[in-house]
């Protein structure tokens, strides 16, 4: 298994809030020249069952992935999971809970938009939303744009949808990390400096939060990310080296729902890879019976 090419371990399909189907994203990954990829749909592992049978010898290497939305008393965290068994009971339990959370939030948001702003939507479109695997804010926002309630998806989310806050419809990070570990996976903190809304977590606060999550079993950080500047990237690489953590790289590609391209991670060639990424890739090989 050659993992010396481009790597992108953070992307989304129509199973959550991306615009490419799992079949389409597999084709786009090939076109982008990516050697190793993972689909990390929010609170969902369906793509992890669909994609592997589609791949043949010589195709990009696929790693099972997921992204769980978490919150505790200090704020929000997105926990990525890699290399788990999608049929493991702890993973299935998390996914089922995540879907229930999203349906609760969808209903609350539609009720809020109607009572607060008078926004109503066609019954057929609402039924389609509730039938999705994991409906989220972008789905509602796109519907608002179609109905003329907002000019853009970003405006719909910022000015309207985000005005309703939730406190009890998220996983606690320890719950997500524990479920990933019990399912045979590797828990990684996604885009660590980015918290709730415009919050930016750096310096001593980032160090403290990271140590807290490590006590829960966190094993790595996403240090290469499309939204990072060089300063954020260096800080995360320094923390990963300090605490001997895995390092991963992801674009957070969502198709047409974000202006991010596949493979846009900020990661250079193999000669620039940090030790934390090399260790992660070596353990991926071990999982696949291809230890180097």
Residue 1 lies in a domain: no
159 and 187 in a single domain? The answer is no
70 and 45 in a single domain? The answer is yes
Residue at a domain's end among 115, 137, 163? 163
Alpha helices by DSSP H, listed for the chain, are: 22-31, 47-50, 89-117, 123-131, 137-146, 153-159, 173-182, 203-215, 230-243, 275-287
Confidence (pLDDT) at 278 = 95
Residue 158 lies in a domain: yes
140 and 190 in a single domain? The answer is no
> What is this structure's pTM?
0.90
155 and 177 in a single domain? The answer is no
Confidence (pLDDT) at 4 = 65
Q: Are 6 and 34 in contact (CB under 8 A)?
A: yes
User: Tokens for 178?
Assistant: 């524990």
Residue 257 lies in a domain: yes
Instruction: Give the count of domains, the chain.
Output: 2
Residue 292 lies in a domain: no
Q: Where residue 75 sits, what CATH number does that domain have?
A: 3.20.20.140
> Torsions phi, psi of 204, nearest 5?
-60, -35
154 and 240 in a single domain? The answer is no
Strands 34-37 and 6-8: parallel
Confidence (pLDDT) at 132 = 87
137 and 280 in a single domain? The answer is no
112 and 184 in a single domain? The answer is no
Confidence (pLDDT) at 181 = 96
Confidence (pLDDT) at 292 = 37
269 and 180 in a single domain? The answer is yes
Mean pLDDT for each 10-residue chunk of the chain (292 residues)? 80 94 95 96 94 93 95 92 94 93 93 97 94 89 96 95 85 96 96 87 96 98 96 98 98 92 94 95 76 41
Q: How far apart are CA 187 and CA 178, in angstroms?
A: 8
What is the per-residue pLDDT across 134-166, written as a single tens digit (0 to 9) for each? Answer: 898 999 999 999 999 999 999 999 999 999 988
Q: Are 25 and 13 in contact (CB under 8 A)?
A: yes
Confidence (pLDDT) at 288 = 64
Residue 37 lies in a domain: yes
Domain membership of residue 106 as a residue range? 96-163
184 and 268 in a single domain? The answer is yes
**Cβ atoms within 10 Å, residue 271:** 5
User: Tokens for 229?
Assistant: 């500047």
């Amino acid at each position: 298994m050659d993992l010396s090419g481009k790597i992108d371990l953070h992307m989304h399909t129509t199973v959550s809030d991306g615009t490419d189907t799992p079949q389409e994203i597999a084709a786009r990954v090939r076109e982008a020249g990516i050697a190793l990829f993972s689909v990390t749909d929010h609170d969902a592992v369906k793509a992890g069952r669909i994609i592997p049978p589609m791949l043949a010898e010589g195709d990009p290497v696929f790693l099972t992935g997921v992204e769980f939305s978490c919150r505790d008393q200090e704020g929000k965290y997105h926990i990525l999971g890699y290399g788990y068994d999608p049929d493991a009971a702890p993973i299935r339990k998390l996914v089922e809970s995540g879907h229930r959370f999203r349906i609760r939030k969808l209903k609350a948001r539609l009720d809020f938009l109607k009572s607060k702003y008078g926004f109503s939507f066609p019954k057929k479109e609402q039924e389609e939303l509730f039938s999705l695997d994991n409906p989220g804010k972008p789905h509602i926002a796109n519907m608002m744009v179609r109905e003329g309630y907002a000019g853009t998806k970003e405006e719909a989310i910022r000015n309207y949808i985000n005005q309703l806050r939730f406190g009890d419809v998220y996983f606690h990070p320890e719950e997500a990390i524990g479920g990933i570990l019990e399912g045979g996976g590797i828990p990684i903190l996604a885009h660590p400096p980015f918290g709730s809304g415009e919050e930016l977590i750096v310096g001593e606060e980032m160090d403290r939060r990271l140590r807290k999550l490590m006590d829960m079993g966190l094993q790595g950080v996403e240090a290469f990310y499309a939204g990072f500047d060089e300063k954020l990237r260096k800080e995360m690489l320094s923390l990963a080296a300090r605490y001997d953590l895995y390092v991963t790289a992801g674009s957070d590609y969502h198709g047409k729902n974000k202006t991010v391209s596949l493979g846009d991670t900020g990661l250079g060639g193999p000669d620039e890879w940090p030790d934390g990424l090399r260790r992660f890739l070596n353990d991926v090989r071990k999982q696949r019976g291809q230890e180097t």
